[in-house]
Amino acid sequence: MGIGGRIGGSLGESARVTTPLVGLCYDIETRMSQAKRVLVADDSEAVRTVLVTALTQAGYEVAVAINGNDAYEMGQTGSIDLALLDHLMPGLLGIEVIARWQAEGYQIPVIILSGVDDERTIVDSLDLGAVDFVRKPFRLPELMARIRQRLPD
Amino acid sequence: MVLEVLRWVGYGIVTYFIAMQLYLIFLGLLSAVVMRRTHHLNRFGRVADMLSSQTSPPVSIVIPAYNEAVGILESVRSMSIVGYPRFEIVITNDGSTDDTMQHLIEGFKLERVRIPYRPDIPTAPVRAIYRGRGSVDITVIDKENGGRADALNAGINAARYPYALCTDADVILDAKCLVSAMRRVVEDRQRIIAVGGNIRPLNGSTVQLGHLIRSEVPRRLVPRMQVLEYVRTFLASRPAWSRMNALPLVSGAFGIWKRSAVIAVGGFTTGHLGEDLDLTMRLHRHHIDNKIPYRIVYEPSAVIWTEVPNTLRVLKRQRIRWHRGLMTAVHDFMPMTFNPKYGKLGMVTWAAMFLFEFLAPIIEFTGWFVIPVAFLIGALDATNLVVMLGLALGVGLMNSLLALLLDESFGYFNGPADSKRLVVMAFIENLGLRQLTVAWRIRALIGGKSTRVWGNMERKGVANLGLEL
Amino acid sequence: MNGTRIAFFAVGVVFAVDTVLLLGLITLKTVHRRRMERHDQRRSIYLGVLSRRLAFPLHTDYIDPEVARDGAFLDAVIDLRNTVAGPEIDTLAGIIDRYGLVKRQAARLRSRFPLGRRLRAAVSLAEMGDESSAPLLIEFLSDREPEIRIQCARGLGRMQHTPAIDAIIERFGKESPWVRSRFADTLVGFGALAAWPLLAYARVNHDYDDNAAVVEAIRVLGTIGERDIGPPLSDLLAKFRNPELKIAAIEALGYVGGPLAVTPLVAYMQDHDWRLRAKAANSLGEIGDPQASPALRLGLEDENWWVRRNSAGALAGIPGGLGILHEALHADDQFARDAAAEALADCGQLGKARERQEQGQATAADLELLGFMIEDALVP
């Protein structure tokens, strides 16, 4: 496949994945049903890359935002099944995004990624309606398990 | 005889301006040296994630509010997420005539509390005190109108923590500003009594939902000139003043003050048009007179964003106000000018403030008349005149370019268009805009009734004197 | 004329300098900016490759050994090191080892380069958190540059390298307040392992003039929160003469003292120095033992505002304390009434009373509290 490979799924749905260089080649197949769409919002490129890689490998469609305002707007499109939001982002904070979505009636399950010293944030975000929180740095297999739990087929 | 006099006066004026620019170069070079450390720490030092709740002194953010109903909730919310372990917000409702108070009560679920108000600094009567309890402690003081200085004093009275950050309701705080500024306090806790911050104009930048998304240099000339002015003073002057422990001005839009020190000198002076300049100088004087070791510093990486006048009309009123504030201060602190007892403050920075900031418009204005007359009469040699003017302009340009280079370490202006606009501004600002500010300040000196009534935009301290230099 | 020639020369110099500055600005904006962009692009690519290696360890993409020289590769490794935890750390450690990243940064740290490069190297080593760099970091704890010392300590803390604890404590007394506070945070990160060495340090040094370091050490003990430290710290407190030290110890006992510390702390509530009384009240609140209630109730009537406030705040957190505060609303002493009211507002009771009132479920105590806050008669 290589660069810019096309992945075919059933139901005529296809997800385009662009892979950077450094000689690699792999197959990805989407699941039988319509792929679930996960929003990843974090200002750290490393976090985004790791999550996008892992999520795509697991068969999810991934939308990416680099700040709170973009994340909020993407949620408004209504096509997001689960959101992984960083708490401290430029623009709107993670919990502010949740608050706004709730106020506007979007029922999007959110997993908050929070840094080490954010005790109060975790409590506040759970109060506001986040379904889970994961501390950063996170264990990848554990995070994937929690995501799978929130997105049953 | 008249010719002689005119010639000397003419040359004198131009020499004055060259001297002024040389002083600025000296400041610029010293600032460059000081900023180098900041630059490295900014890029590699990981300052922000270093302050924990144990080491960082708690801070009260004091905000005066007058008829701010429109944006008060958003801006207080955005302030409440500033990255700092322990802080509270104290808002003073300075007798607003709109429903600012209602907005606050509803927005933050405030409850009136009958707690004693301890007026360490005398203020206008306080009607009630409210507390809110969410993720941030908010205290609101409802008092009768007394002006910005009075409102700040009330806030300081009610503040519970040893350090107070005095700012305005419509300011956007950078996430790391409080950490950066308080870092200086932790470094030298015994002596530091005030920390000034770096103010950047918000005009032209993209703000969404109360957050700064992208910073850009505005296209319009009026705010653009101010961007250049602010960069010059905040990057090429203040670091040098701070290094000499002779910072004459901690801006009203961002100043961290040690509560006990402010109370000891009686707080901000009500009714003063330049209350921040006045308080800073009084703190200097008090500590020098009483031989108390102290430091007042400026932290370039403590950045905040605020809106500056967009039109000439508003700018004019702001500059007139600033200059009147400066006039009062020059009068009040005349004994300190050129007084060796006050060290570098008296001999260098305040002397320069008097000489180059206060007297400059008078001298420049005189120059507008004297030089052409002297030239026409033949008292001034054309080549000499051109050379000296060229020198003055060239050195002025040097200061602007140096400041822009120093600004690079912050990385706020990423697009090529931004720097282009600023460089162009550096060239063209002497083609009329600067001259306008001179005319306004002459107007301020003359005085009169129209220089005494102020709207909201101009109501805030002298904030950024030193821009005219 | 000589003067004119000098003047022309001066103008020439000035405009030459202007040109240099302008060129410098242009260079920074264009050349330098482009270099940074390419750096970021490479970093993105490395992030992608390394992420895939973390996500499916069985697939190994080929990574050219030359990347070891690339600052962007180092950045990518460090970013990932800060992002993931658990078994992925081992994979990254392997990569760090294979490409000799530690060695390279160590060399830079040792170099005579100016601050920028050395500081960057120190930060990189700290962030990589690789055990192999521990001896080097300990060595550079005494570097002449304070920021580098801070980073070395930070790195040793991140990798939990216990032999470093003594080295860091040894430097405690010699450091400036900022550096010392950073060291203190690192020691907190070591947790209980640092507690006993710190106590020993305090025991040995508390009599000397410059107590600031010992004060900081005691504060760290409180933050670490190791309960076993309580009794020896209590004993040590009795020996302290300096009020600053006493204040720090009283505060620390609030966190580590436990119920055994209540008696000595109650005694301090009678001290003539208001700062000790106020701190003691605070600490009694932290401990939360009802034994302290009588002393705290008396504290509501203290002449000093801070003591009253802390006593009231402490009562709010002790079982049975809320009742005492509600009763204090009727106290004879005006000070006590005000302090109790403020504490009831601060701990959220006032808000809850308001909610209950709005739902029509207000108790008598609620109405009383709400009424107290408003000058006029009771709220209906």
Highest mean pLDDT among A28-32, B192-196, C222-226: B192-196
Give the model's confidence band at B247: pLDDT under 50 very low, under 70 low, under 90 confident, else very high: very high
Report how far residue B380's alpha carbon sits from residue B374's, in angstroms, rounded to the nearest whole number. Answer: 6
Q: Does B86 touch chain A (CB under 8 A)?
A: no
What values do phi and psi take at B464, rounded to 5?
-135, 45
* 8 Å CB contact of A22 and C62: yes
**Distance, CA of B294 to CA of B292 (rounded, Å):** 6
What are all long-range contacts of C189-194, with beta carbons under 8 Å and residues at least 24 apart?
A: C189/C157, C189/C158, C189/C160, C190/C157, C190/C160, C190/C162, C190/C165, C191/C224, C191/C226, C192/C224, C192/C226, C193/C162, C193/C165, C194/C165, C194/C169, C194/C220, C194/C224
Cβ contact C271:C242 at 8 Å: no
Residue B407's nearest CA partner among B416, B419, B415 is B419
For residue B305, give the nearest of B378, B404, B213 by alpha carbon: B213
User: How many CA atoms lie less than 13 Å away from B447 in the CB half-sphere?
Assistant: 5
Does the beta-carbon distance from C44 to A138 stay under 8 Å? no
Q: Are strands B111-113 and B163-167 parallel, antiparallel or unpaired?
A: unpaired
pLDDT tens across A114-125, in order? 875 666 677 777
List pLDDT tens digits, range B423-434.
999 988 888 888
CA separation for the pair A91, A100 (Å, rounded)? 13
DSSP letters for B293-361: --EEEEEEEEEEEE----SHHHHHHHHHHHHHHHHHHHHHTGGGTT-GGGHHIIIIIHHHIIIIIISHH
Q: Which residues have C-beta within 8 Å of that of residue B306, sequence separation ≥ 6?
A: B168, B170, B171, B172, B199, B200, B201, B202, B253
H helix runs in B70-132, sequence order: 72-79, 100-108
Q: Phi first, then psi: what are they for B90, rounded to 5°?
A: -120, 115
Q: What six digits make up the tokens of C289?
A: 């033992």
Q: Rounded to a whole number, what is the distance in Å from the CA of B306 to chain A's nearest CA?
A: 16
Q: Are C187 and C220 in contact (CB under 8 A)?
A: yes
d(CA B218, CA B311): 12
Residue in C269, C273, C275, C271 with CA at minimum distance from that of residue C248: C275
Residue identified by tokens 């040359």 is B11
CB contact under 8 A, B40 and C28: no
Written as six digits, the tokens of B269 are 């002076």
User: Residue B278, class by beta-carbon neighbours within 10 Å (0-12 exposed, 13-18 middle, 19+ buried)?
Assistant: buried
Distance CA C151, CA C163 (A): 17
Confidence of residue A22 (pLDDT cuts 50, 70, 90): very low
Quick check: bond before C290 cis, omega within 30? no
In the predicted model, what is the mean pLDDT of residues B240-245? 94
Q: Do A137 and C43 touch (CB under 8 A)?
A: no
The reply to whether residue A90 touches residue B213, judged by beta carbons under 8 angstroms, is yes
Structure tokens at B48: 């922000």
Burial C325-352 (b: 16+ CB within 10 A, else e): bbebbebeeebbbbbbbbbbbbbebbbe
Structure confidence by residue, pLDDT tens digits, A94-112 = 888 888 898 888 888 899 8
C48 to A49: CB separation less than 8 angstroms, yes or no = yes
Radius of gyration of chain A (CA): 16
Overall average pLDDT of the B288-316 stretch: 93
B201-228: per-residue pLDDT in tens? 999 888 877 778 788 999 999 999 999 9
pLDDT tier for residue A26 given thresholds of 50, 70 and 90: very low
Residue B467, both tokens: 């821009």
Side-chain half-sphere of C167: how many Cα atoms within 13 Å? Answer: 20
Question: Could you read off the pLDDT of B80-104 as tens digits, one per residue?
Answer: 878 788 899 999 999 999 999 999 9
A100 shares contact with chain C (CB less than 8 Å): no
**To the nearest whole angstrom, how far is the Cα of C164 from the nearest Cα of chain B?**
19
Q: Which residues of C touch B41 (CB under 8 A)?
A: 119, 147
The pLDDT of residue B41: 74
- Residue B397 sits at φ, ψ, to 5 deg, of -60, -40
A24: pLDDT strictly greater than 60: no
Predicted pLDDT of residue A16: 29
Flag whether pLDDT at A19 surpasses 50.
Answer: no
Cβ separation A93–B81 shorter than 8 A: yes
Q: Is A36 left (phi over 0), alpha (psi -120 to 50) or beta?
A: beta
From the list A20, A22, A50, the residue facing C83 with the nearest CB is A50
Mutate to test the interface with A, among C63, C67, C83, C91 (most CBs of A within 10 A): C83
Give C232-288 pLDDT, tens digit per residue. Answer: 999 999 988 889 899 999 999 999 988 999 999 999 999 999 999 999 999 999 999
**Residue B388 and residue B376: Cα distance in Å, rounded?**
17
Nearest CB to C79; choose among A24, A26, A45: A45
Instruction: Say what the pLDDT of residue B74 is.
Output: 81
Q: Which amino acid is located at B385 in the chain?
A: L
Beta-strand runs (E) in B28-147 = 59-65, 87-94, 111-113, 126-133, 137-143
Nearest to C255, CA basis, from C200, C218, C290, C292: C218
Separation CA A112–CA A126 (nearest Å): 9
CB B169 within 8 A of CB B75: yes
Tokens in use for B248? 């004459």
Least confident of B131-140, B371-380, C118-127, C144-153: B371-380
B60 backbone φψ class: left, alpha, beta (φ>0; ψ -120 to 50): beta
More confident residue, A127 or C96: C96
Asked if the Cβ–Cβ distance from C44 to A45 is below 8 Å, we say: yes
Cite the DSSP H helix spans in A17-57: 45-57
Residue B208's pLDDT is what? Answer: 76
Subunit contact C51:A50, Cβ cutoff 8 A: yes
Q: In this predicted model, what pLDDT tens digit does every residue of B359-370 receive, in sequence order?
A: 988 888 888 888
Element (H, E) at C225: none
Residues of B whose CB is below 8 A from C177: 186-189
Using CA coordinates, name the residue in chain B closest to C369: B113
The confidence band for B50, taking pLDDT boundaries of 50, 70 and 90, is low
User: Is residue A119 within 8 angstroms of chain B, CB to CB?
Assistant: no
Hey, is the C-beta of B118 within 8 angstroms of any chain C C-beta?
yes
Q: With an 8 Å Cβ cutoff, is B408 touching chain C?
A: yes
Does an H or E element contain B259, and which?
Answer: helix B259-264
C48 vs A20, A47, A57: nearest CB: A20
User: Rounded mean pLDDT of chain C?
Assistant: 88
The answer to whether residues C241 and C274 touch, using CB atoms and an 8 Å cutoff, is no
Q: Binning pLDDT at 50, 70 and 90, where does residue B45 land? A: low
CB contact under 8 A, C55 and A54: yes
pLDDT given for residue A12 in this prediction: 25
Phi, psi of C203 (to 5 degrees): -60, -40
Q: How many C-beta neighbours within 10 Å does residue C308 have? A: 25
Both tokens of C336, joined, read 């006590």
> Is pLDDT of B452 > 70?
no
- ipTM given for this complex: 0.85
Question: Chain B residue closest to A121 (CA)?
Answer: B135
Cβ of A124 within 8 Å of Cβ of B135? The answer is yes
The amino acid sitting at B36 is R
**Closest Cβ–Cβ partner in A69, A93, A120 for B208:** A69
Whole-number pLDDT of residue C377: 37
**Are the C-beta atoms of C287 and C262 separated by less than 8 Å?**
yes
B111 at C interface, C-beta within 8 A = yes
Residues above pLDDT 70, as percent of chain C: 97
Interval C339-354 mean pLDDT: 87
Give the pLDDT mean for C296-323.
Answer: 92
Q: Which residues pair with A37 in a beta bridge?
A: A61
User: Nearest by CB to B398, which of C14, C223, C342?
Assistant: C14
Please, what is the end-to-end C-alpha distance for chain B in angstroms? 33
Specify the higher pLDDT residue, A114 or A60: A60
The nearest alpha carbon in chain C to B390 belongs to: C11
**Chain A partners within 8 Å of B83 (Cβ):** 88
Phi, psi torsion values for A115, nearest 5 degrees: -75, -175
